[in-house]
Structure 1
């Protein structure tokens, strides 16, 4: 009986390992698609960083923002291998094999690729339009947090 239980546990763990490996391979294939790589490159570009900087506040001049965006872009590019690995592992843990394959198929299709190509400008526009609201929220947030923590 013990041998049967051991064989069942071994078979299940081997099957789970194979499923995990399949998900990891599928997630890696998804992250390495040209569409996903372009999205990452766009987000990590100086222009992509500049779009996100609107949330930081208006303390910097445009020239300073461009300088900072260039530095941040270089640092993000240096982290790309780590970010890619984290994305692959996160996908494999969060999604089923079928879901990853469906996402890959969609974003590899003409419609999916077109939608993804519009994601960066969409997010840039959204973040830029919300910049003043985030700045106002930050101005309210800091005094509230300080007041609460000083109690």
Structure 2
């Protein structure tokens, strides 16, 4: 009898875990649909290209938007999100970034990254040179 109860418990626990994983994946997919990786990559490439000599900009943008396999990035992001965030957090992210305010914020994210990236790069280079 103990074995039957134990097996029933294991079955219920594994079903519950599978359901939560499925719900987490659905929430992460909803987030990724609200914040398409291809749009983010394209926006970021255009803004980052401003840091590159003008003669090389078009090639850089073309490389970033045609040669980068967005589906691989999306798959990696989906897996990482499901492993990292709770269901509640994933739903909150999907809700926010799916809203008008969230979409507006994401539309500005590439510009933001392009503005902050030079400072990040300078600080990293400074820290590396001090370590040497």
TM-score, normalised to structure 1's length? 0.71
Whole-angstrom CA distance in 2 between matches of 1:134 and 1:50: 23
Larger Rg: 1
Is the 8 Å Cα contact of residues 51 and 127 (structure 1) preserved in structure 2?
no
Q: What's the Cα RMSD here?
A: 2.7
Whole-angstrom CA distance in 2 between matches of 1:103 and 1:139: 35
1:131 deviates by 7.0
Identify unmatched segments of 5+ residues in structure 2: none
| Closer, same or farther: CA 135–52 of 1 in aligned 2, 3 Å | farther
Q: 2:85 aligns with which of 95, 100, 104?
A: 95
Detail structure 1 runs of 4+ shifted over 4 Å in the superposition.
none
What is aligned with 2:67? 75
Q: 2:38 aligns with which of 25, 41, 60?
A: 41
Aligned length: 130
Whole-angstrom CA distance in 2 between matches of 1:91 and 1:119: 19
